[in-house]
Structure 1
């Protein structure tokens, strides 16, 4: 069947095909044809092509999925690492032979493994994406639909999002000898930038006490990419940080703000970060927690949550509210103090 998708103003092909492995019929649907002629050509080619592969393995289909979403080399390495470490028993099997019961048993085993829940859920996300791609492109039944994310343990909830006070951060920073990395960490703590956004900053992005954040970079192999939300933003910085960063801009003149001709290495950043934590004796946190520390400091000092969300570059205010709900709840007592003080004060209008 060939029909027009009025919503997208394109054509699609839908046919029923018998699976030679199971003998069952399933529907194959492919969208996105610009003209009816293209859709007809595709439909006629199905009878002579291997458009509905039944012998491809999970990894082969995964590779097609990566191409379809234009995965970077770094992302492909990450996908493969997840499949190798946590999907090893099923990754080389024909995708059509992997049943729902296989996946449920695998998820149960994954839930009992020693990996962090966040890591397990990332693997689940990748596996679901591959099966969904096979369903969308080849019309395969999708047994992965029932795979739900795992819940974090109580210990993980308590350990997540550790933050430093300015005093703790200064103790840490005093143990970073390299001025370039000291400025990098200072920028993360006092702006809330994502680490990749700070790595990607160019000298031209700093001007008149403002930073233009429009790109991100994981490592040298990936180069500059859009930010996580695909949106640019400008944030204002304090005078002390501006002076520190302007000194770097004058030294390098062009290129990366942190490094000039070449960007900072994530591996070296982590090494210096962890060494300074150990030397200073402050509690151990993740590098990403410098961002949480900044947001926590702002909220605890009464900064409007909308302003915090905009500064962090969140895609929506709902994301900020969800991430920092625990801090907002703690402000209830402060709110009641203000109300009580107001009612008990001399400015209260008598009834």
Structure 2
């Protein structure tokens, strides 16, 4: 039913729609200043009630976020929301989803691939993969619920990589050169924990005193830390397999006992560490440079620990459990290249049986 004027000179929107149960209802709203506003209200209303592809990407993204909000962790939701608002909406917001073609998606991908910051650096392959996957997820939502015939991202192809590629690690000697010049007590303990336990930095930053058993030499991992929009969020770990108890050496426990004795906060529910992630990154680069060893990421301390365990011949299942991987194949896929030379050793053992 077209928009009409009422006796006050304003426009009225009156139309019928069908609910997802098949029930036919009427919507009525008055007070619009122009006919265009009344018709736009009808269009936007129907886009949320009827399954139709005749909606803007902005509205689709809003529906998508509302749909997933209670289905994923808050930190994951905030991350997706940020990506959509910062990187995707500026390009697609006002386009109707039925108008988004593989060519348009391809143009978006090419813009991402050609981006360079002031230092001439482009987006990391893993970030490119994340951006493309986020766009594809929204359009998949349109395919499932808004009668979009197909996802144009599929025809456009993908960009980026799921993993970061080449892995940079420190040997024990390199780590010792690094840690020996770290004078800040918190940094000293934190870097030791990351290298000698392989825990994720978010897991480490969420640790409280009651997570450490100083008698049994173990650390319990049952939560993770993140900071979004200025808010500190302590949530459940990355996966169900991430909940675990890590055995640590006497040296690590001794370091933690000394640290506990030096700081004021000492309640069982107090977090052990106060610095933000970026501070750990910044100082790690500075220390590495001062002792002339290669720069690696904070997360690479976790990879260094895994590499050390593989070098020591630890069973992959035990490594997987220690790292908190939900599946063994995650461990094997991530570190398979570190086993590259094991064939020679394997053949030597088989030959020795003759």
- TM bucket by the smaller chain? 0.7 to 0.9
Aligned residues: 298
C-alpha change, 1:65 and 1:249, in structure 2 (3 Å) is farther
Match of 2:268 in 1: 254
Q: For 1:203, which of 184, 193, 209 is the aligned residue?
A: 209
Cα drift, residue 185 of structure 1: 0.9
1-side partners of 2:24 and 2:201: how far apart?
48
Runs of 4+ in 1 over 6 A off after TM superposition: none
Residue by residue over 1:215-237, the C-alpha shift from the partner in whole angstroms, topping out at 9 and shown as x without a partner, is 11112714211111134111101
Q: Does 1:313 align with 2:324?
A: yes
Residue by residue over 1:36-80, the C-alpha shift from the partner in whole angstroms, topping out at 9 and shown as x without a partner, is xxx987321577662136664323322332332226367535643
Residue by residue over 1:183-242, the C-alpha shift from the partner in whole angstroms, topping out at 9 and shown as x without a partner, is 111101111111111111111111121111111111271421111113411110111101
2-side partners of 1:308 and 1:80: how far apart?
34
* Preserved contact between residue 53 and residue 146 of structure 2 (Cα < 8 Å): no
Look up the SS of the partner of 2:345 in the other structure: helix
1:24-35 matched pairs, under 5 angstroms = none
Q: Does 1:175 align with 2:181?
A: yes
Cα drift, residue 266 of structure 1: 1.4
Cα drift, residue 131 of structure 1: 1.0
Match of 1:32 in 2: none
Cα drift, residue 119 of structure 1: 1.4
Cα drift, residue 109 of structure 1: 4.2
2-side partners of 1:249 and 1:173: how far apart?
19
* Preserved contact between residue 281 and residue 297 of structure 2 (Cα < 8 Å): no
Q: For 2:346, which of 320, 326, 335 is the aligned residue?
A: 335
C-alpha change, 1:195 and 1:73, in structure 2 (3 Å) is closer
Match of 1:298 in 2: 309
2-side partners of 1:222 and 1:148: how far apart?
36
2-side partners of 1:319 and 1:187: how far apart?
22
Q: Does 1:282 align with 2:282?
A: no
**Structure 2 unaligned spans of 5+:** 1-17, 28-44, 116-121
Taking structure 1 as the reference length, what is the TM-score of the superposition? Answer: 0.75
Cα drift, residue 123 of structure 1: 0.4
Look up the SS of the partner of 2:188 in the other structure: helix
Q: Does 1:221 align with 2:231?
A: yes
Cα drift, residue 115 of structure 1: 2.0
1-side partners of 2:205 and 2:272: how far apart?
7
2-side partners of 1:130 and 1:189: how far apart?
38
1-side partners of 2:20 and 2:66: how far apart?
24
Q: Which stretch shifts more, 54-63 or 129-138? A: 54-63
Q: For 1:124, which of 132, 137, 142 is the aligned residue?
A: 132
Cα drift, residue 164 of structure 1: 0.2
C-alpha change, 1:47 and 1:117, in structure 2 (3 Å) is farther
* Preserved contact between residue 124 and residue 147 of structure 1 (Cα < 8 Å): no
Q: Which stretch shifts more, 169-178 or 285-294? A: 169-178
